[in-house]
Chain A
């Protein structure tokens, strides 16, 4: 199967970086608005990762993580997946739920239903922010589904990405996204998985095909 990402030009990488920056900016504005305090968001890394490398991003495939997935329809079809470590998920949820106490040994059982709901909202916001960035740069309109949440082994979740990529192409677009509020900084992993046709359309609309 031809690897369409291997031929990414510097201009295409710049376009992806621009999507990342605008998307993160939108998301930070939205979160700051909800919380009434400044949340900063940066995208320190944008990468195209091969199928085989997807598993390595989160350390051991047996580590528990929180994942949110969104189905995309419209001009661009595919999926979006947001993955956070348990500690990061707990911290992000604390930020949204206004929880102040520290917990240094966070486990799965510490995440309440409210936390998951908060993370669902974060998935929503991030996904919507990236999609509107894509839309404003490319004119492609994409509708996200409601997010589907899951807490389980990293490997099991990343294999969903591997499955998606296995069907359409051999890579995923990976945006590492960092939230920070005051001195807390949390990294989360944002994967954009357009199907092959949508990816071509995206690159063409960005004028860098």
Chain B
């Protein structure tokens, strides 16, 4: 979990089934990034809250609110949640990306944060960079191009 102010850029490299959640407040040119590994801690005590969507997102929101951001102006963008290994397998591991992305979207809605952009799914990894000067999110892939959002 990272937070930064203009002119810094925050990045996370090689998102597979993980989801990168970025929150940005254009008013203060300040933002945060969370690297979600799993959807939910399942109610168990958590050693690293940031690993899970259901505990990490509220923590990132609170951290930004404490820094002066307001809930109404925060804008969320999420990327990742791929299904790296093509399969029809019934094992949970093959659907973890999809579940991560769904849970992130749901938790953001519960937190009343506007989800402005979503690039999830597919079978390829992503590297993302949030520019805290502009709020622009850069998504890099291998063989699936570069996108800005």
Contacts and interface: CB of A to CB of B under 8 A. Distances in A.
Interface stretch (A4-12, A19-27, A154-162): A154-162
A110 to B, nearest CB: 13
Given A62-B127, A150-B85, A152-B84, A71 B16 contact: no
Given A62-B13, A166-B37, A155 B89 contact: no
Contacts of B93: 71, 79, 160, 163-164
A203 B124 CA distance: 36
A133 B93 CA distance: 25
Contacts of B22: none
B91 A156 contact: no
Judged by DSSP, the binding face of A is mixed
A160 B47 CA distance: 19
B85 A148 contact: yes
B85 A156 contact: no
B15 interface: yes
B14 interface: yes
A159 B18 contact: yes
Contacts of A150: 84-86, 123
Interface of A: 1, 55, 60-62, 64, 67, 69, 71, 79, 108, 145, 148-160, 162-164, 166-167
Contacts, number: 88
Nearest to A63: B14
A67, A156, A159, A160 — most chain B CB neighbours (10 Å): A156
Contacts of B18: 156, 159, 162-163
A184 to B, nearest CB: 26
B77 interface: no
Given A61-B14, A155-B14, A69 B85 contact: yes
Contacts of B14: 55, 61-62, 153-159
A120 B5 CA distance: 46
Contacts of B142: 64, 108, 151-153
A128 to B, nearest CB: 18
Given A148-B85, A153-B16, A156-B17, 7 more contacts: A62-B14, A67-B84, A71-B93, A155-B16, A160-B17, A160-B96, A163-B38
Contacts of A79: 93
Contacts of A154: 14
Interface string B134-149: 0000000011000000
B125 A155 contact: yes
26 contacts: A55-B14, A62-B13, A67-B85, A71-B93, A79-B93, A145-B89, A148-B86, A150-B86, A152-B124, A152-B142, A153-B16, A153-B142, A155-B14, A155-B15, A156-B82, A156-B125, A157-B16, A157-B125, A158-B16, A159-B17, A160-B96, A163-B37, A163-B38, A164-B93, A166-B37, A167-B38
